[in-house]
Chains A and B, each alone.
Chain A
Amino acid sequence: MVQHVAATETSPALVALLVVLAVAELALLAWALVDLYRRPTSQVNGGSKIPWLILCLLLQLIGPVLYLVIGRERPAPATAILSPGAAVPPPLAAPRPDAAAVVDTLFAGPTGGPDGAASSGPAVELGAVRKTFGDAVALDGLTLNVPAGSIYGFLGPNGAGKTTTLRILAGLAHADAGVVRILGRDVAGGSADARSLIGFLPDVPAFYKWMTAPEYLRFAGSLFGLSGKELDDRVAAMLELAGLTGVSTRVGGFSRGMKQRLGVAQALIHGPRLLLLDEPTSALDPIGRRDVLDMVASLRGRTTVFFSTHILADVERVCDTVAVIALGKVVVESGIDELRGRRGGLNRLSIEVDDPQRLREGLAGAAWLRTVEAGDAGELLVTCDDVEAAQRELPALVGRLGLALRRFGVDELDLEDVFVDLVGEGRR
């Protein structure tokens, strides 16, 4: 901490001077008070000792009071006192409970509940939403529907409009045009009714630093109308879920991972019917990331999760459905498997023969063929519309041409390839 550094760097001469000053100050005060006590009132200017006594004591108080009130940071438990930028050790948290069991208790109450997940309409409807900041277009006719009960990945590069979309859904920003509905309720006009159904975690959650985690969760729960034993039970469950049980440190001393877990907990406190998560894992270490994803995965079927990210592995791990957004527009919206298979360029075969040039010439005119490229190891990379036809016909072609087949296989393109492809197309 800065104060500690300053203290250790204080020179002996300065310390000696400060000691002399302190002794002189105390001696002067004692001298004045003793003199005031002994001296007859008639020999005191003003005719009264009281104002001089108050003056002596008051001036003596000012410096210490100023220091104690504004000159120091609020004391925090020792675990929270760290130098800026230092890594914060993880708390001595209780063993992580079964997330699904805790989530069960959360969605058992009347505030949230799985009814939202079970309802027939979409949890989120965005229709031709447009949002500009000056000349910059953040959302350009964004349209998508998030099925109730799904874990929906909202994928896009930085600056694509993900955070703007989530801020509009959370009632923190207004769309310039278009339809924005949450569980059938219009969000326009900052409806508290719609906000009561959602839990929201921004990309960088900011808490009141002077609160502890239980205090913040109680505050969050009370804003949703929770109170009494129900609130107590939910706070305890959320602390357990977030691994923050028994952590008495103020939030100001939390690590990023602890804040993120607390952020998820505060968003879940009322059992929301729609959970909005803005890049919840982007700054977490692998363990923190796994914890958050486990929490999200445990919500499947209980509520709807709308989950923005640019981390493709997270989407593949927990999401049912995904929308890819670029430059404020949805480039594609589909299931994960469907996304991998829906584009012709997604199926690629790799084939290695003794004469690649002859095979390349022989491939000309094949109905299923899209492209042929030379691979790094001398193989041919063949992309196609109909992978089954290619798998049938390509070996047969090799046989007809009299070539020696050394290696043949299907490369399934991963989501990253799809993402790069789609985003690049969206930008064009």
Chain B
Amino acid sequence: MNGFAPFLRKEVSETVRTWRLWVLPGFLLFAALSSPLVTYLMPTLLDSLGTAQQGLSITVADPTALQAYLEYLGNLSELTLFALVIAYGGIVSGEVRGGTAALTLAKPLSRAAFVLGKWLSQAAVIVVAAALGTVICVGLTRLLFDGGPAGRMVLAVALWAFYALMLLAVMVLLSIELKAPAAASGAGVGVYAALVVLAQFEVTSSATPAGLPAAGLAIVQGEPAQWAAPLVATVIVTAACLVAAVLRFERREI
């Protein structure tokens, strides 16, 4: 791929030097800090609520590290993925609309390098941010609670990362197909919602990417989890989206 390395360097620099660096890591950091904290303080908060309202009695079991991890994974699968879909609606179309793509693609940079450079740089951001967030979450949880399935938690986050990278590939494709970033984000929300619906059915959950978040939750809880097939499907969908994105972008007029 012509020009891949310099374009990837440009993408990484752009991520570091503009607001793009802070969106997903910001959500991940917030989830990593707030999940153990909220879990830890929830009984106290509910107890205060019960004390304040005469006659209302709320009994809550003592919080555990497992609950903190589940809270974190829940935040990753909902808030963070939603932010991903919104943030990357213009990952390709933004450059095309802004005119910077015309100047860049008139040079011997291949369209494939352009698309894959965008995906890879943001994939790196997601993976690094998820790793840092997980370290913070596990550390804080260990500070507040005794023990906890940290190893299983890391595995669950790794599965989440595959799922997030697939959604990123979907957003790259949508951003090529739909010229308006808002339209791509809207379509991305639709894809995300469809995956959530598919996850509710045993058949689709066990054999499609839709089952990956649930598999992660099951792993953390020490329950049997069907993660292999959804993981393979996720990798296939990711690759398919990237191939389709490259092919479509090669035909696209800038």
| Residues of A in contact with B (beta carbons under 8 Å apart) | 45-46, 48, 50-52, 54-55, 58, 65, 69-70, 74, 167, 170-174, 190, 192-193, 195-196, 198, 200, 202, 204-208, 210, 219-220, 222-225, 263, 266
Residue pair A170, B106 in contact (C-beta under 8 Å): yes
Interface assignment of B6: CB less than 8 Å from any CB of chain A: yes
CA distance A51 to B41 in the complex (A): 8
A167 surroundings in chain B (CB, below 8 A):
102, 253-254
A220 surroundings in chain B (CB, below 8 A):
107
Can you spell out 22 A-B residue pairs with CB atoms less than 8 angstroms apart? A46-B40, A48-B40, A50-B143, A51-B37, A52-B41, A55-B37, A65-B26, A70-B19, A70-B22, A171-B106, A172-B106, A192-B108, A192-B109, A195-B107, A196-B107, A204-B99, A208-B10, A208-B100, A219-B6, A222-B3, A223-B7, A223-B107
Residue pair A195, B106 in contact (C-beta under 8 Å): yes
Interface residues of chain B: helix, strand, loop or mixed (majority): helix
New contact pairs (6) apart from A172-B253, A210-B17, A263-B103, CB-CB < 8 Å: A54-B33, A70-B19, A167-B253, A192-B2, A206-B98, A223-B3
Residue pair A198, B106 in contact (C-beta under 8 Å): yes
Interface assignment of B197: CB less than 8 Å from any CB of chain A: no
B18 surroundings in chain A (CB, below 8 A):
74, 210
CA distance A207 to B143 in the complex (A): 48
Identify which of B6, B22, B99, B105 contacts A205 (C-beta below 8 A): B99
Interface centre among B9, B48, B107 (most CB of A within 10 A): B107
CA distance A174 to B254 in the complex (A): 10
Number of B interface residues at 8 Å Cβ cutoff, please give it: 41
B37 surroundings in chain A (CB, below 8 A):
51, 54-55, 58
Residues 1 to 43 of chain B near chain A (Cβ within 8 Å) = 2-3, 6-7, 9-10, 14, 17-19, 22, 26, 33-34, 37, 40-41, 43
Please, what's the 1-or-0 string for B89-127, where 1 marks a CB less than 8 Å from any CB in chain A? Answer: 000000000111011111111110000000000000000
CA distance A45 to B9 in the complex (A): 50
Interface assignment of B200: CB less than 8 Å from any CB of chain A: no
Interface assignment of B250: CB less than 8 Å from any CB of chain A: yes
B10 surroundings in chain A (CB, below 8 A):
208, 219
Residue pair A174, B253 in contact (C-beta under 8 Å): yes
**Nearest CB to that of B39 among chain A residues?**
A51
Residue pair B103, A223 in contact (C-beta under 8 Å): no
Interface assignment of B177: CB less than 8 Å from any CB of chain A: no
With A45-B47, A190-B111 as contacts: A58 and B33 at CB distance below 8 Å = yes
Distance in Å: Cβ of B86 to nearest Cβ of chain A = 13
Residue pair B14, A200 in contact (C-beta under 8 Å): no
Interface assignment of B144: CB less than 8 Å from any CB of chain A: yes
Distance in Å: Cβ of A80 to nearest Cβ of chain B = 15
Residue pair A223, B254 in contact (C-beta under 8 Å): no
CA distance A45 to B45 in the complex (A): 9
Residue pair B33, A69 in contact (C-beta under 8 Å): no
